[in-house]
Amino acid sequence: MLPRCADVDLVDAASEVLGMMFFTDVMNGNVIGEPPDKPVTVKVEFQGASSGMLHMSMPRETAEALTANFLGLPMGEVPSEEQMNDVVNELGNMVCGSFLSKHESEELFDLSKPEILAAAAELPAQVATLHRSLELDNGKMVLALSWDRLNPAA
């Protein structure tokens, strides 16, 4: 059984971050879809009253568009690999922190330094992982939240 509103809060957290800081709207937060091929994937681990990790995966084109929006690059300018990785790391950090702040409002938590995974990395498939696919106005994204509070035995 999911903690109260975990799935809604995860999509809300991503929507708020993308809307406020990346000028990107989430058109649909409940799309069932396959992870993108050769994606850009960021992983953020967290510890505190509860622990777990968040993976965010998106096609390279989406990552480039989000990076350009965040950095305010001129129209048509393609961000460097370093810029893209830095921005995707920051995106993962913000979405994970925003989600946890909704759920752990009284408890301190620590976020790991976000890490870009190799393109071939697969998203976690454990039972205690919440998956959501987001359809964005400039691409798509898959979220996978592994969290000890999703595990009924925890």
Partner 1 sequence: MALRVLIVDDAPAMRLYIRRTLQMSGLALSAVFEAGDGKEGIAVLEREHLQGAGIDLVFTDINMPVMNGEEFVTQLQQEERLREVPVLVISTDATKTRVLRLRELGARGYISKPCAPEMIRLKVEQILGRDYAAALC
Binding to partner 1 by residue 96, rule CB under 8 A? yes
Residue 5 makes contact with partner 1 by CB under 8 A: no
Closest CA to 13 of 89, 82, 132, 96: 96
Q: How far is the CB of 122 from partner 1 (least distance, A)?
A: 26
| Residues in 51-80 that interact with partner 1 by CB under 8 A | 67, 70-72
- DSSP-derived 3-state class of residue 93: helix
- Using CB under 8 A as the binding rule, whether residue 145 contacts partner 1 is answered as no
How many residues make contact with partner 1 (CB under 8 A)? 30
Q: Least separation, in Å, of the C-beta of 111 and partner 1?
A: 6
Q: Residue 134, interface with partner 1 (CB under 8 A)?
A: no
Distances (CA, A) of 2 to 76, 113, 130: 42, 26, 9
Q: CA-to-CA distance for 85 and 134, rounded, in angstroms?
A: 20
Using the rule CB under 8 A, is 16 a contact of partner 1? yes
By the rule CB under 8 A, 42 interacts with partner 1:
no
Contact 116, 40 (CB under 8 A): yes
Residue 45 lies near partner 1 (rule: CB under 8 A) = no
Closer of 31 and 111 to partner 1 (Cβ): 111
Residue type, 55: H
Q: How far apart are CA 93 and CA 68, in angstroms?
A: 18
Cβ within 8 Å of residue 116, ≥6 positions away: 40, 41, 42, 85, 88, 89
**Residue 105 found at the interface with partner 1 (CB under 8 A):** yes
Q: By CB under 8 A, name the binding residues for partner 1.
A: 16-17, 19-21, 67, 70-72, 83, 86-87, 89-90, 93-94, 96-98, 100-101, 104-111, 113
